[in-house]
Amino acid sequence: GENVEQHPSTLSVQEGDSAVIKCTYSDSASNYFPWYKQELGKRPQLIIDIRSNVGEKKDQRIAVTLNKTAKHFSLHITETQPEDSAVYFCAAGLGDYKLSFGAGTTVTVRA
């Protein structure tokens, strides 16, 4: 089955700096790559996603890049704010989008 690895497990950044989270996946057939943000005690919420026919996607301060050849994808958050503090999960989906998630990255934005 699909195996998704996510790094780093924790990330502390100064407010205003950028944060980058990287994920690799094992199944080259995976074709959908969402990123979810989960605040403490809350449900995972989609923040951005990308399909395998696209190399990069941007939404305001958030961007995702995908390298199909290397089977890795990354989340970039620019101009971080305290409200960006949360756990971020990458995932890879195949077929009818059974998602395989990474272990998560706890992001702390220091004021």
Partner 1 sequence: DTGVSQDPRHKITKRGQNVTFRCDPISEHNRLYWYRQTLGQGPEFLTYFQNEAQLEKSRLLSDRFSAERPKGSFSTLEIQRTEQGDSAMYLCACRASGTDTQYFGPGTRLTVL
Residues at the interface with partner 1 (CB under 8 A): 4, 6, 32, 34, 36, 42-46, 49, 51, 89, 91, 96-104
Nearer Cβ to partner 1, position 15 or 58?
58
Q: At 28, is the secondary structure helix, strand, or coil?
A: coil
Nearer Cβ to partner 1, position 41 or 83?
41
Reported residue count of the chain is 111
For the bound state, the minimum distance from the C-beta of residue 19 to partner 1, rounded and expressed in Å, comes to 18
Contact criterion met (CB below 8 Å) for 23 and 70: no
Contact criterion met (CB below 8 Å) for 65 and 72: no
The C-alpha atoms of residue 30 and residue 87 are separated, in whole angstroms, by 23
For the bound state, the minimum distance from the C-beta of residue 12 to partner 1, rounded and expressed in Å, comes to 17
For the bound state, the minimum distance from the C-beta of residue 15 to partner 1, rounded and expressed in Å, comes to 25
Nearer Cβ to partner 1, position 80 or 104?
104
For the bound state, the minimum distance from the C-beta of residue 44 to partner 1, rounded and expressed in Å, comes to 5
Contact criterion met (CB below 8 Å) for 88 and 74: no
Phi, psi of 52 (to 5 degrees): -70, -10
